[in-house]
Amino acid sequence: MSVLTLGFSPCPNDTFLFDALVNGKIDTGGLQFKPVIADVEELNRRAFNHDLHITKLSYHALGHLLPHYQLLNAGSALGNNCGPLLIARKNLLPDEITRAKIAIPGVYTTANFLLGLAYPKATNKITLLFSEIEDAVLSGVADAGLLIHENRFTYQSRGLVKIADLGEFWETLTGLPIPLGGIAIKRTLPAEVKQAVNLLVKQSVEYAFANPNQAMPYVRLYAQAMHEEVMRQHINLYVNHFSVSLGQIGQDAINTLFQKAQQLHLIPPFDGAVLVENAN
């Protein structure tokens, strides 16, 4: 088997859980991985070109890509109280939100899907790198912004206010945790390779949980501008038991997101297997 390209973001949750896999801390059984590190929306776009063997994807993007990619059972960012935040310089009334120019971190992000679900008439959007959204709101380039990743820990210190917690909106609507992003693998790869990668990602997450301090040098390498406390908050928020295994609740949450997206014609219908099956 040739080297497998592995796409993930430079965010602490991804570098934390992939450290053991890409840095030789677990036995990969002869499989080799080439990291491709990029913002999640860039990874979403690359996946539409089918040029990565394995990649982190927003669940919204994965809904479009299910004919080409399957979801691994490990590695997901999914949970409670971890959804995207809609922020602004001041409180906005509902009718002001629908008229506002809103900065989003990508068309295919789950954050943008949730914004459309909560505020279907809010269609005046501009797409920016997630780390640029706070500045865009502060400068007046955007009236409001949709925050993901570590920016949820910093916006208040910059004088911005929360308008809505879209994770809370989802949890109230469905009673389920919010599926943000998962790890997907090309359907065209042999079944035994998909099963092996499924297990290796789980082992990498388990290794990180068992040896959290060992992962931190790799986390810091890609988060040098981030305070240590924010790094650890980020990891604690997005890496949890769903990252080890989705379980039935995690699968129910993902299927519910896909069903709602299909009902709104935001993703095409798909009847195939979503998850890679484990070897018996």
Could you tell me the CA-to-CA distances from 166 to 81, 110, 198 in Å, in that order? 9, 10, 30
| Per-residue buried b or exposed e for 202-216, using 16+ beta carbons within 10 Å of the residue's own CB | bbbbbbbbeeeeebb
DSSP 261-277: HHHTTSS----S--BPP
State the DSSP string of 44-112: HHHHHTT--SEEEEEHHHHHHHTTTEEE-SSS-EEESS---EEEESS---HHHHHHS-EEES-TTSHHH
- Closest by CA to 244, choosing from 40, 20, 5, 37, is 20
The Cα-based distances of 176 to 41, 171, 249 in angstroms read 24, 5, 7
Which residues form the catalytic set? 149
Q: 28 by DSSP, 3-state: which?
A: coil
Sign, CA torsion 249/253/254/255:
positive
Q: Which of 49, 72, 48 is nearest to 60 (CA)?
A: 48
CA 254 and chain centroid, separation = 12
For helices 166-174 and 110-118, the axis angle rounded to 10 degrees is: 70
